[in-house]
Amino acid sequence: MAARRLSLLLSRSASSNLFLRGSPGDTVTISRLTRGAFSYSTSAAIEEPLTPSVKVDYTQLLINGKFVDSASGKTFPTLDPRTGNVIAHVAEGDSEDVDRAVAAARKAFDEGPWPKMTAYVTTLHLRLKDQGYFCALLICLKNIMMKLQHLRLGIMESHMNRLPKLKYQWLCVFFRYYAGWADKIHGLTVPADGEHHVQILHEPFGVAGQIIPWNFPLLMFAWKVAPALACGNTIVLKTAEQTPLSALYAAKLFLEAGLPPGVLNIISGFGPTAGAALSSHMDVDKLAFTGSTDTGKIVLQLAAKSNLKPVTLELGGKSPFIVCEDADVEKAAELAHFALFFNQGQCCCAGSRTFVHERIYDQFLEKAKALAVNRVVGDPFKAGIQQGPQIDTEQFEKILRYIRVGVDSGATLETGGERFGSTGYYVQPTVFSNVQDDMLIAKEEIFGPVQSILKFKDLGDVVRRANTTRYGLAAGVFTQNIDTANTLTRALRAGTVWVNCFDVFDAAIPFGGYKMSGQGREKGIYGLNSYLQVKAVVTPLKNPAWI
Ligand code: NAI
Ligand code: MG
């Protein structure tokens, strides 16, 4: 029923002429954005789509519903990875700004309307939809982000490829999914021994601190913000220093849609300053982090040393992609290629160890190499481009270092291995064969377009080797044999195992890591647990009719 009510709401919003129209080649300019009404203009496809003019609307910190400068007045440049040129100067948040943002979030939680919109236990419903947020969010996300963000900030910041699989609808899906949960979060009434009425309440934590990385800025925004809000928390989110713009833009849309001030605060800034201040803040009740395993450890320590706030971590990986003996080699090579090269290899769950059965190894290698050779690298604003630049000079140099290490350690460089072009942070699609388990390129997260191909003999061999890693985020299995699939899916120690597919994400599918790939789960019903705490309320029963 609730789902039906939501879909009614959706269809009503769809018919209220708020949808922006424009073909993918159009530029779309929002000239006015008010609650429930957009006016816009579209122009025909621009002649030279390589350098679309990017108008950056918001560069300040978002605290208590207002865009403000940082307390220090400092700014830092955000760069275009295609050229290294400055896109904009952004306010640089530090501990004083984090204090201000946390105070605003605290007030919004303790005194503001957000967590009080409904009673706990019975219903938490209507929080999103009755206020019109839900409706507006969907409109904003589905239309503006898909079009405008896609053109302006989405690609500019994340350099996602225009792969058919990439869906900006993901953002809408997340908010819709968690808005759908908002009225289904309820506790329990449990029968306990004795004459007592026992209620188990599921309550929001309060102020959630969230730290996100740069590889999928808008998606990470949605993964973090949607469940936290649906559960009634207020938020201080720190964006990655490489990609501060799109979250500010998205948050502004939430304000336009009626989100009360202080509920969602955004701090741009660096890890050791703003990130550390948020992690160690005494008034932050819960912390969620996505990024490297090393930084995850720091964040966990800061949380422990301050107020022991619970922490969820979504960290790095070195995920195996296993191509079994019976696989259709062509399809397997294509999927393995996608599993590694998607988003320039900048994926926590990238299939970065391609294990191939010895009988099909040579054949597979030829296909894998051909795919890499033919991969189209260039400006992601240009049609037909499959691979854009890496995010920044640090990542770019790190990847090239790993490639050199791969060569020095005796792996065979089949193709690539160099920078692509002479400007920007482009790396040639690179394939190594003859990779051995103990080589650095087989052990550490490269986070770039570098495929390492390893040979295996049998299932026992590949299971042991695939699991010999400190990581456990994801794994891929390619086989037509159900028994092989069942054996591998249970034996692989990873939070996600994709069989004959890869990078299939859904708001309902939990995501997170075994071992040093993380703690806790995001998405799905499991993602709610990260933003709720459990309270037992016990009251005596006087002359109960039943117990
Ligand atoms: P990082 O883990 O250092 O940065 C991620 C976020 O953490 C950013 O918002 C950053 O400002 C923040 N941060 C950094 N130091 C912090 C500190 N001391 N306290 C609190 N927050 C802090 O990742 P980085 O340096 O951008 O990339 C390094 C490597 O991490 C990459 O090469 C890649 O291997 C891995 N990585 C993994 C990601 C994933 O999705 N699991 C995402 C980004 C990077
Ligand atoms: Mg770092």
Express each pLDDT in 378-411 by its tens digit.
887 777 888 989 999 999 999 999 999 999 999 9
From the CA of 242, the nearest ligand is 1
Instruction: Return the number of other C-beta atoms located less than 10 Å from residue 440's C-beta.
Output: 14
User: Partners of 30 in the beta sheet?
Assistant: 40
Amino acid at 289: F
Is the pLDDT reported for residue 140 higher than 80? no
Is the pLDDT reported for residue 164 higher than 70? no
* E strand map for 182-285: 188-190, 196-204, 207-211, 234-238, 264-267
Q: In a mutational test of the pocket of ligand 1, which residue from 292, 309, 402 has the highest number of ligand atoms less than 8 Å from its CB?
A: 292
DSSP readout, 103-169? HHHHHHHHTSSTTTSS-TTT--TTTTTTTTHHHHHHHIIIIIIIIIIIIIIIIIII-----TT--TH
Catalytic residue among 92, 157, 241, 314: 314
Annotated catalytic, 314? Answer: yes
Question: Which tens digit of pLDDT belongs to each residue from 198-209?
Answer: 999 999 999 999
Confidence of residue 481 (pLDDT cuts 50, 70, 90): very high
Give the residue whose CA is nearest to atom 18 of ligand 1.
Answer: 272
Give the residue whose CA is nearest to atom 22 of ligand 1.
Answer: 271
Q: Which two tokens stand for residue 53?
A: 């003019």
Is the pLDDT reported for residue 20 higher than 50? no
Catalytic residue among 348, 349, 414, 522: 348
H/E stretch holding 526 reads helix 524-529
H/E stretch holding 464 reads helix 459-467
Residue 298 beta carbon below 6 angstroms from any ligand 1 atom:
yes
Supply φ then ψ for residue 70, to 5 degrees: -70, 155
Is the pLDDT reported for residue 43 higher than 80? no
Question: Which tens digit of pLDDT belongs to each residue from 1-19?
Answer: 333 322 222 222 322 222 2
H/E stretch holding 483 reads helix 482-491
From the CA of 95, the nearest ligand is 1
Calpha distance 216→190 (Å, rounded): 42
* Atom of ligand 1 lying closest to residue 294 CA: 2
Give the residue whose CA is nearest to atom 10 of ligand 1.
Answer: 271
Name residues whose C-beta falls within 8 Å of residue 310's C-beta, 6 or more positions apart in sequence.
205, 286, 287, 303, 530
Residue 95 beta carbon below 6 angstroms from any ligand 1 atom:
no
Measure the CA dihedral 460/465/466/469, to 10°.
Answer: 140
* Atom of ligand 1 lying closest to residue 398 CA: 32
Is the pLDDT reported for residue 51 higher than 60? no
Lowest mean pLDDT among 125-134, 185-194, 334-343: 125-134
From the CA of 444, the nearest ligand is 1
H/E stretch holding 288 reads strand 286-290
Q: What percent of the chain has pLDDT over 70?
A: 80
CA atoms within 13 A on the CB side of 430: 30
Annotated catalytic, 348? Answer: yes
> In whole numbers, what is the pLDDT of the chain averaged over residues?
83
Confidence of residue 99 (pLDDT cuts 50, 70, 90): very high
Position 266 scores a pLDDT of 98
HEC string of 54-117?
CCCCCCCEEECCEEECCCCCCEEEEECCCCCCEEEEEECCCHHHHHHHHHHHHHHHHCCCCCCC
Question: Which tens digit of pLDDT belongs to each residue from 201-237?
Answer: 999 999 999 999 999 888 899 899 989 988 889 999 9
Helices marked H in 264-408 — which ranges? 276-279, 293-305, 329-341, 361-374, 393-408
Confidence of residue 534 (pLDDT cuts 50, 70, 90): very high
Question: Which tens digit of pLDDT belongs to each residue from 424-459?
Answer: 899 999 999 999 999 999 999 999 999 999 999 999
Question: Which tens digit of pLDDT belongs to each residue from 343-356?
Answer: 999 999 999 999 99
Report the separation in Å between the CA atom of 208 and the middle of ligand 1, taken as the mean of its atom positions: 19
Is the pLDDT reported for residue 414 higher than 90? yes
